[in-house]
Amino acid sequence: MVKLLADECVYKETIDFLKKEKIDIKIVKEKGLESSLDKKILDFCNKNDYVFLTRDKDFGNIINFPPRLFNGIILLKVFPKDVELIHNHLLEFLKTNLALKGKLAVVDSFKVRIHKGI
């Protein structure tokens, strides 16, 4: 199963949901990375085999964050009214997609899109 490192902006509700579903997830604060630069967090993920989970739309910019350079990024486009639906899409995706290296997965209330980027 994939190991996730959750950004500070990921809802606590999402982290609790994933832990309840037995997903291996840590938060940046647990790793001493709170308030760190994006590059430092992604370097940590690469070195420690984590997929980065975030709500920060900046990570959806494949020019600034080319997926091929990273161990995997999951961008949640989630709003409070869609949390349950997003959780279901995310869990289904995580259970069937173990190879995220070099990919950006965008999870919204309709589907999961995979970008390999440039």
Confidence of residue 103 (pLDDT cuts 50, 70, 90): very high
Residue 4 parent element (H or E): strand 3-6
Measuring CA to CA, which residue among 79, 69, 83 is closest to residue 117?
69
Structural domain of residue 103, as residue ranges?
Answer: 3-115
pTM: 0.93
Residue 48 parent element (H or E): helix 38-48
Counted domains in the chain:
1
Q: Does residue 36 carry a pLDDT above 70?
A: yes
